[in-house]
Amino acid sequence: MSAPSTLGPPAVLAWRDYDAAACELPGMFLGEVALTGPPQGESDRLWRLGARRVRLPAVVDLTAGADPERAAEAVAALSLVRDLTARAVLVEWDLRLAAAPADAWQVLSHLQPPRRIEGLAGAGEALRGWRQGHYLCKCLWRKGPGFVQIRDRRWGELRRFTADEPHYAETIERLAYGAPAGSVPAAVLDDFRGERLVLDVGPLAWWLPYRISRWLQESMTI
């Protein structure tokens, strides 16, 4: 059984431009946009509305423990940040992490950097590292004819993971917006966990890489 699809930010604030000064001009503020559809379509809808700067209303809290509802809320919010990052939309969001491990932020470092990090020891240093090291296409996946490939640069060097077994692609689709860890093949999930491609949030497992919507440069270079 998948995580509930209706949980997550009930609405976001959105603007038509990335630049804060430009966002102050008449007609640039799109207002509060309600998120009423399935999570896999919300970033596309925001993009079509003209949103290029989006602000989440609440802290994305990854300290939910075993609470399934709080975990689903956090995963839905993270999914929106991930999908908007893939579109190169500027996302304003805040993150709460557990105090350890100190490098927990690096797992998320392919996402648009948050405005602030709560709960983490050395949060200021982590946030500086995140902002300085962030670029589009840092951790992505693509689906080719008969295979899936992940390219991951979150740790400095390029790491590739390629699989041609159909159940890997099927598992990615299941995990894309969060799924109970026990609902997907254990061996595949273990492989993904070993490569740090999945984030466990309470009882849910969530797929970290994004499927790129805007290439920073030619795809063969990435």
Model confidence pLDDT, tens digit, residues 78-128: 999 999 999 999 999 999 998 878 888 999 999 999 999 999 888 999 999
Q: Is the pLDDT of residue 47 over 80?
A: yes
Give residue 2's pLDDT band: very low, low, confident or very high (50, 70, 90): very low
* Domain termination site, one of 133, 150, 169: 133
**Whether residues 129 and 143 fall in one domain:** no
* Domain termination site, one of 114, 133, 152: 133
**Whether residues 21 and 117 fall in one domain:** yes
The amino acid sitting at 125 is E
pLDDT of residue 6: 43
Q: Which of 147 and 1 is assigned the larger pLDDT?
A: 147
Domain enclosing residue 28, as ranges:
11-133
- Pair 114, 95: CB distance under 8 Å: yes
Domain count across the chain: 2
The C-alpha angle with vertex 203 and arms to 65 and 169, in degrees rounded to 5, equals 140
CA 145 to chain centre: 25
Enumerate helices (H) and strands (E) in the chain, giving the number of each: 6, 13
- Pair 222, 151: CB distance under 8 Å: yes
Structure tokens at 71: 């975990």
* Domain termination site, one of 77, 109, 133: 133
**Whether residues 81 and 155 fall in one domain:** no
Give residue 206's pLDDT band: very low, low, confident or very high (50, 70, 90): very high
**Whether residues 143 and 129 fall in one domain:** no
The amino acid sitting at 182 is G
**Whether residues 115 and 144 fall in one domain:** no
Would 218 be classed as within a structural domain? Answer: no
Q: Is the pLDDT of residue 5 over 50?
A: no
**Whether residues 46 and 147 fall in one domain:** no
- Starting from the edge strand earliest in sequence, which strands make up the sheet with 11-15, in order? 29-34, 11-15, 53-55, 90-92
- Average pLDDT value for residue range 49-61: 96
**Whether residues 119 and 147 fall in one domain:** no
What percent of the chain lies above the pLDDT cut of 90? 80
Beta-bridge partners for 205: 179, 200
Q: For residue 116, what is the enclosing H or E element?
A: strand 116-118
